[in-house]
Chain A
Amino acid sequence: MKGLGVKALGQKGAATERKPPRPGRSRWGLLALLAWTLGWGGILSPGEPGLAEEPLRHAALFSVEERPEGILVTNRIPWPGATEEMAWLLQPAASADALPGIPGARRVRVPVSRVVVTSMPAVACMEALGALDALVGVGGGRYCYSPAARARAPVEVGPAEGMGAAFDVERLMALSPDVVFAYAYTAEERAGLDRLEALGIPVVLASEFLEETPLGRAEWIRFFALFLGRQREAEEFFDQVDRHYQRLRLDLASVDHRPRVMAGTPLAGSWHVLGKESWLGLLIDHAGGSYVWGDIPGRRAVYMDAEAIFAKGAEADLWIHCGPWLSREQALREEPRAALFRPFREHAVWNNDARSFPGGGNDFYEGGALRPDRILEDLALIFHPERFPGGTPFYYRPLLSEDRR
């Protein structure tokens, strides 16, 4: 499969090879230079002057606004069900003391150089931006896939299970992080993070997982880049991802045959099924597939009766995302009725765990959050192998028998 070369942006040293500003931005560069000369030292944009206001293309849940006080970053829905947005005022470390704040916005001195991360897509963002040097701690390290991040052996600050917001506060305090990139699924988890803020540790809640589209999720690299002072790298990275995705989507829009695709695994007799407008539903559609649960509206997941699943999925052509099943034998041990589905009988089951550690991280949910184009390319290869002769999926692998794994 053809590579994009986007990953190169994340390689060590790439961050320092900054390209000259594009012609349209020279005006901003001059203004920023003037401001710096006047002693404002990067007030307008602490990282790349002017890039903070590059309009967002797909992400709908965060916004960026340049203010005289600094860059105001707002997360509109910081956790599922949140009724209040959260905002951070990013101010250059050199001049933050001289700058006023904005009511309701948490002040963060940027660029941050000591970061603790509990959300694995944030780790992937740091790697892609060449900012792993700033990673000093991680919550839920067992779920981290990135070999580069693991090699840095960041301090584990999460609970034993590696999930949730129950941090080891002493370890966290000892790390003196500039910021904690965290996530919360519930108001309780959100309240737990307040404790860290009370101790003076800025917590940045990311919620890329709530974005409605795959590209919307991927664009959150620009959110993290604002804190890391890597806006230009983020812009270039996302630009390539966006273009590649759109090109693939356009190519696949005219496919003659759309295979019927089912997804998921049963949980306690019922199935967790995503709606047709979910990120998965969109990816299947954009990759030239026909989602068998395309009649379920919206993007949220619903629990469906196994009988209803069988009625729709029994004659599907392909089965993707079979969760924790590592082999056909394991699938049959946990759910013998898997064999009633045609894709299982015809060995057309693909799981998104080609890049994963047993019992640990899975790059699909880490790096894949930034690379929907690569996921799309994988799915297109699985759905339409005739279009990609000799290709091998990056994140996916077929569900095989134990003796063939």
Chain B
Amino acid sequence: MTFPPESPRGGPKIPSLPSREVLSRDVWRWAAMALIGAVAGGAFVLHLGHGAVALSWGEVWGILLGSGQGSSQDIIVWQFRLPRAVTALAAGASLGVAGLLMQTLFANPLAGPYVLGVDAGASLGVALAVMGLEVMGPSWEALATAGSFTAAWVGAALVLLGILSVARQVRSGTVLLLVGILFGFAANAVVSILVALAPSEKVHGFITWSMGSFAAAPWPRVRLLLLGSLGGLLVAWGLAKSLDALLLGEDYAATMGVSPGRARRRVLLATALLAGSAAACCGPVAFLGIATPHLCRGILRTEGHRWLIPSCAAAGGALALGADGLTRLPGGAVLPLNAVLALVGVPVVAWVLFSSAREGGAS
């Protein structure tokens, strides 16, 4: 499978002297990145100002600065709107970058945490933490609750390891996708068995998580999400050069002084942290991981990761905030998050598929 012509792969150019063309391209990319960042920032502010309860911008701003402590407006802003907005921003950024890392790692434009079963792995981890240990005995409950993030990271990493080991044997992008889907099926099968065996009150907790939402997370979970996301983003940023080299193939990367094995392990760590944190906090969130990198490549016209990593983080956050905003209907009614995301993501995936098909079909 090859990348679509709209986003040609070829790795970053490393000019000895910046030409006028390169300079103007960089200016455009800086401008585009700033624009994406501004959109994310604007979406964040809009998210804080808009909600089921009518609050003026002045009220929200005043509350953020510390006025009206203890009032119901104060609680609405600090306990409902702010954690929700931070969750959407952090989870969107994490998923966007995780999708980028996976697309580079597997050299596959359709790779993403949801498609390749990484979300399912995280889901299995959370299910084991929330329900599996409970089946063994109630004394494990505290451990199960506290460990859901760790379980999601481990579950995501295990699925990634599995797919990576297959990827080393099989070069076909289509086979890799199918293997990812199979991993997802297997993980979901175990989850279904756990759901069937677990007490209904435990199932409720898991079902709540599995519906996918940015609104469910209280501050303790948001803090863990921030921790995992920032850690994953930092690791990913540190890998930008190695990722660029990997785009040119492992042999070429080795000649550039990049150890492919070490780079893969770090990419895996970053992806597990990013996708696992988002999944543990918000449940499985579809399409952001796959759609965001394509959107950024299309806007920035580059494969360079020093451009794409911050852009995917900002664009993922903006998309997540926008989609979450669309779930809120007038009067306080809500729509399911993944349904809204699917409406945004399906056209993007379809576009990638058709573009690939025009290029000669999946390889």
Known: A310-B76, A335-B218. 8 other contacts (CB 8 A): A266-B208, A267-B207, A269-B216, A305-B333, A307-B81, A309-B332, A336-B218, A359-B202
Most chain A beta-carbon neighbours within 10 Å: one of B213, B216, B332 = B332
Chain B nearest CB from A327 CB (Å) reads: 10
Point out the residues of chain A lying under 8 angstroms from B208, CB to CB: 266-268, 334
Produce 1/0 per residue, B81-113, CB < 8 A to A.
Answer: 100100000000000000000000000000000
CB-contacts of B104-140 with A (<8 A):
none
Point out the residues of chain A lying under 8 angstroms from B12, CB to CB: none
Residues of B participating in the A interface, judged by any CB pair closer than 8 Å: 51-53, 72, 75-76, 79-81, 84, 145, 195-196, 198-202, 204-205, 207-209, 211-220, 283, 328, 331-335
Instruction: Give 14 pairs: A residue, B residue, CB < 8 Å, sorted on A.
Output: A266-B216, A267-B208, A268-B209, A269-B214, A304-B334, A305-B51, A307-B51, A307-B80, A310-B76, A311-B52, A324-B200, A340-B75, A359-B198, A360-B200
Q: When the two chains form their complex, are residues A307 and B333 in contact, meaning their CB atoms are under 8 A apart?
A: no
Flag whether A171 is at the interface (Cβ < 8 A). Answer: no
Please, how many angstroms separate the alpha-carbon atoms of A323 and B217 in the complex? 19
Point out the residues of chain B lying under 8 angstroms from A160, CB to CB: 196
CB-contacts of A301-341 with B (<8 A):
302-311, 314-315, 323-326, 330, 333-337, 340
Point out the residues of chain B lying under 8 angstroms from A323, CB to CB: 204
Most chain B beta-carbon neighbours within 10 Å: one of A270, A302, A333, A340 = A270
Given A266-B216, A268-B212, A305-B332, A330-B75 contact (CB < 8 Å): no
Please, how many angstroms separate the alpha-carbon atoms of A325 and B53 in the complex? 27
- Of the candidates A270, A311, A314, the one whose C-beta lies within 8 Å of that of B215 is A270
Residues of A participating in the B interface, judged by any CB pair closer than 8 Å: 160-161, 266-270, 302-311, 314-315, 323-326, 330, 333-337, 340, 358-360
Q: When the two chains form their complex, are residues B283 and A311 in contact, meaning their CB atoms are under 8 A apart?
A: no
Chain A nearest CB from B281 CB (Å) reads: 11
Please, how many angstroms separate the alpha-carbon atoms of A310 and B81 in the complex? 12
4 closest cross-chain pairs (CB), A and B: A269-B215, A308-B332, A359-B199, A308-B52
Point out the residues of chain A lying under 8 angstroms from B213, CB to CB: 268-270
Given A326-B201, A337-B218, A268-B211 contact (CB < 8 Å): yes
Point out the residues of chain A lying under 8 angstroms from B218, CB to CB: 335-337
Point out the residues of chain A lying under 8 angstroms from B217, CB to CB: 269
Q: When the two chains form their complex, are residues B79 and A359 in contact, meaning their CB atoms are under 8 A apart?
A: no
- Of the candidates A310, A315, A359, the one whose C-beta lies within 8 Å of that of B80 is A310
- Of the candidates B72, B84, B145, B196, the one whose C-beta lies within 8 Å of that of A161 is B196
Point out the residues of chain B lying under 8 angstroms from A302, CB to CB: 333
Please, how many angstroms separate the alpha-carbon atoms of A330 and B141 in the complex? 10
- Of the candidates B80, B199, B335, the one whose C-beta lies within 8 Å of that of A306 is B80
Given A268-B209, A324-B201, A307-B52 contact (CB < 8 Å): yes
Point out the residues of chain A lying under 8 angstroms from B198, CB to CB: 359
Q: When the two chains form their complex, are residues B334 and A305 in contact, meaning their CB atoms are under 8 A apart?
A: yes
Given A267-B208, A268-B211, A269-B214, A310-B75 contact (CB < 8 Å): yes
Point out the residues of chain B lying under 8 angstroms from A303, CB to CB: 333-335
- Of the candidates A304, A309, A315, A359, the one whose C-beta lies within 8 Å of that of B200 is A359
Please, how many angstroms separate the alpha-carbon atoms of A311 and B77 in the complex? 11
Point out the residues of chain B lying under 8 angstroms from A325, CB to CB: 201
Please, how many angstroms separate the alpha-carbon atoms of A307 and B52 in the complex? 6
Point out the residues of chain A lying under 8 angstroms from B81, CB to CB: 307
* Chain A residue at minimum C-beta to C-beta distance from B207: A267
Given A305-B332, A337-B79, A360-B200, A311-B53 contact (CB < 8 Å): yes
Point out the residues of chain A lying under 8 angstroms from B200, CB to CB: 324, 359-360
Please, how many angstroms separate the alpha-carbon atoms of A311 and B219 in the complex? 19
Most chain B beta-carbon neighbours within 10 Å: one of A268, A310, A330, A335 = A268
Chain B nearest CB from A139 CB (Å) reads: 15
Given A303-B334, A337-B80, A314-B53 contact (CB < 8 Å): no
Please, how many angstroms separate the alpha-carbon atoms of A336 and B79 in the complex? 10
Please, how many angstroms separate the alpha-carbon atoms of A309 and B84 in the complex? 15
Q: When the two chains form their complex, are residues A358 and B199 in contact, meaning their CB atoms are under 8 A apart?
A: yes
Please, how many angstroms separate the alpha-carbon atoms of A326 and B202 in the complex? 11
- Of the candidates A270, A311, A359, the one whose C-beta lies within 8 Å of that of B76 is A311
Please, how many angstroms separate the alpha-carbon atoms of A325 and B212 in the complex? 20
Chain B nearest CB from A250 CB (Å) reads: 34
Q: When the two chains form their complex, are residues A305 and B211 in contact, meaning their CB atoms are under 8 A apart?
A: no
Please, how many angstroms separate the alpha-carbon atoms of A268 and B145 in the complex? 16
Chain B nearest CB from A297 CB (Å) reads: 11
Please, how many angstroms separate the alpha-carbon atoms of A114 and B124 in the complex? 42
Please, how many angstroms separate the alpha-carbon atoms of A334 and B213 in the complex? 14
Q: When the two chains form their complex, are residues B53 and A307 in contact, meaning their CB atoms are under 8 A apart?
A: yes
Point out the residues of chain B lying under 8 angstroms from A326, CB to CB: 201
* Chain B residue at minimum C-beta to C-beta distance from A338: B218
* Chain B residue at minimum C-beta to C-beta distance from A159: B196
Chain B nearest CB from A337 CB (Å) reads: 6
Chain A nearest CB from B206 CB (Å) reads: 11
Q: When the two chains form their complex, are residues B334 and A270 in contact, meaning their CB atoms are under 8 A apart?
A: yes
Point out the residues of chain A lying under 8 angstroms from B76, CB to CB: 307, 310-311
- Of the candidates B75, B201, B211, B214, the one whose C-beta lies within 8 Å of that of A314 is B75
Please, how many angstroms separate the alpha-carbon atoms of A245 and B218 in the complex? 42
Chain A nearest CB from B341 CB (Å) reads: 14
Please, how many angstroms separate the alpha-carbon atoms of A160 and B80 in the complex? 38
Chain B nearest CB from A366 CB (Å) reads: 14
Chain B nearest CB from A266 CB (Å) reads: 7
Q: When the two chains form their complex, are residues A308 and B53 in contact, meaning their CB atoms are under 8 A apart?
A: yes
Please, how many angstroms separate the alpha-carbon atoms of A337 and B199 in the complex? 24
Please, how many angstroms separate the alpha-carbon atoms of A199 and B214 in the complex? 47
Point out the residues of chain A lying under 8 angstroms from B72, CB to CB: 310-311, 314-315
Point out the residues of chain A lying under 8 angstroms from B199, CB to CB: 358-359
Q: When the two chains form their complex, are residues B215 and A268 in contact, meaning their CB atoms are under 8 A apart?
A: yes
Point out the residues of chain B lying under 8 angstroms from A314, CB to CB: 72, 75
Most chain A beta-carbon neighbours within 10 Å: one of B84, B204, B207, B334 = B334
Point out the residues of chain A lying under 8 angstroms from B145, CB to CB: 333
* Chain B residue at minimum C-beta to C-beta distance from A304: B332
* Chain A residue at minimum C-beta to C-beta distance from B205: A334
Chain A nearest CB from B75 CB (Å) reads: 6
Given A306-B80, A307-B81, A337-B218, A161-B52 contact (CB < 8 Å): no
